[in-house]
Structure 1
């Protein structure tokens, strides 16, 4: 497997060269991460706190670590000091815990709010009504140690590209509507993270600024 060649192949297909590629390195050995680093990758995505904790000290300081998996509130404290971006914030409870841990170490922690866009019930995320309720809550407006950098959504796992496109387009529309509304100063919606190895081109066509790609770079997971 040639990570450099795989990366070049993926990059050549990008419709938006400014779209950030987060290399999904979950379950991959450090040797693969180091090889990807050597060919220019600086953003790595992990989905388990324990694995993220283990890899972080072994990699250079300029690596940006992305927590892309479902994060439990009781594990926030372990990654709060170094995580670059938490992708899947899907509850007010989790948001408040991230703020609490950021306050303890005097660090603003950047996050993405996960929106439930898929027809599958197995996916996590806020629905539109829940998010709008939270935005109007006085407890939300008093948060001090988070920066809400954007939204994230995962499309239904299906071969139906029209459905995937519809879900991504819906998220982009919601993103644009939120950006036109009055929001607290710590809500700075710059990024919309949608798209993985199988659907990142559709996601880019629909306005994604950040894609999470693993198997197309590192190969399948055993």
Structure 2
């Protein structure tokens, strides 16, 4: 699961050395019981892989992977509506023509985050002149996709349960009984106990397709 936002440079003079940061501000209670009303969580948008540095010749989609380190890890679609936080996105870079540093900031509330949507495509190839066209009028457009409603934590627990079920299936060994009959040809019969048969039943889970979708 990922949280996505789109950034673009509409200036005539391009932004170079652009990089993006994302923060989530919400209340936090420490293990000692101290209440921090405005705690800031630094959300990873690819800092360890270098994907937070952007080459903004066309609009790009910035992704935050919702894993165990994410503050959104245990938030489901139903929980998102009741959450109280603010998501801050900061884009920084250097103006190519002047060499001055510029910064753009925006923020989102839980009610402004769309669960199960993807961004519309902006770039199209023009066959007549061989050029790419960027339609900025579609910058904020999105469309719904099939998306689970549980949290990333619940999804991981379901995957682990499925893996454990597959592991139990692989450990099933049949009991081979050699039947000595009076006939000239001996036959081998494979017998499964009732409990072993029950282990081979499929769990009623419907897994989503592996798509990168915005929350």
TM-score (normalised: structure 1) = 0.19
TM-score (normalised: structure 2) = 0.20
Which has the larger Rg?
Answer: 2
Name the one with the larger strand percent: 2
